């Protein structure tokens, strides 16, 4: 049984031209690997120098792998500065009270 996780990825680029190139590369890789669930994403968008997209998985380890594969695909584009993937993971949590 896996732990569900999701992330809103931010990719920092040198400028808008590089951000558009990153979006193009992500779309190309997704189309090339259309039967590979690792290349599914939501909300792909870019602005002046950032690219944004969302990913999720029923297993946190798979989401880590997906992010690694995305980084491998874009890291060599001249002008890509960094990629940030903060994870939000499902957890049971704890409950406490002062009643007997």
> What is the structure's pLDDT at 1?
63
CA distances from 85 to 6, 23, 53, 73, 100 (A): 9, 16, 10, 15, 42
What is the value of pTM for the model shown? Answer: 0.86
**Is 2 within 8 Å of 59 (Cβ atoms)?**
yes
Pairwise pLDDT comparison (36 vs 59), residue with the higher score: 59
Domain ranges of the chain: 5-89
CATH 3.30.70.100 fits 5-89, yes or no: yes
Please write the tens of the pLDDT for every residue from 38-96: 778 999 999 999 999 999 999 999 999 999 999 999 999 999 999 999 999 887 777 77
Tokens 């996780």 found at: 5
């Amino acid at each position: 049984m896996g732990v569900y996780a999701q992330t809103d990825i931010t990719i920092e680029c040198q400028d808008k031209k590089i951000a558009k190139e990153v979006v193009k590369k992500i779309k190309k890789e997704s189309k090339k690997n259309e039967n590979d669930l690792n290349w599914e994403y939501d909300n792909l968008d870019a602005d002046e120098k950032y690219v944004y997209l969302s990913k999720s998985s029923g297993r946190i380890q798979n989401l880590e792998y997906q992010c690694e594969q995305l980084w491998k695909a874009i890291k060599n584009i001249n002008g890509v500065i960094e990629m940030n993937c903060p994870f939000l993971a499902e957890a049971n949590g704890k409950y406490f009270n002062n009643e007997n």
